[in-house]
Amino acid sequence: MLAEQYMDAVGPLARATRASVALVAAGVPPRQRERREAAIAAGDLSVAIGTHALLREGITFAKLGLVIVDEQHRLGVAQRLALVRKGDKHARPHLLTLSATPIPRTLALALRGELRTSELGERPKGRPPVATEIRVTIRSGKIRAIAHRRDRLT
């Protein structure tokens, strides 16, 4: 579903720039998927948006300059590395990881300075502010921290 949302979001930009974009995912009919994979291998596709299907061994990229991974895909370190390695061995592609709420390992890497970070300081127009609180409770002798998200509609 997330990959389909990205396809919808990229559509207007792709049309404006005349870039060819295709979705590669398990739900794509086999013949369409084969054509798209062939286009990726031949370099006829500007942008491939996909799911774990892009990790399949048979998929090759004629030219891979940028890999963007949304943390919601829950790709592990080995899977991200496998995607990056699908690029040219002499010109390693750039890796951009997106995360609205980073997974603990990604957050630790960023805090240690192993990842460069960028913050978006503004929210999209019309989106209400969100407040996140950490609440600590003690139940049956165990301390439990709960992240609680509260949407404010003001």
**Beta strands, E only, 41-92:** 47-50, 66-70
Confidence of residue 124 (pLDDT cuts 50, 70, 90): confident
Express each pLDDT in 73-111 by its tens digit. Answer: 566 777 877 888 887 777 788 878 777 776 777 777 778
So what's the pLDDT on residue 99?
Answer: 74
Distance CA 62, CA 67 (A): 14
- Flag whether pLDDT at 140 surpasses 60: yes
39 with 19: CB under 8 angstroms? Answer: no
Q: 19-52 in b/e burial notation, b at 16+ Cβ within 10 A?
A: eebbbbbeebeeeebeebbebbeeeebebbbbbe
Q: Which domains does the chain have, with CATH numbers?
A: 2-124 (3.40.50.300)
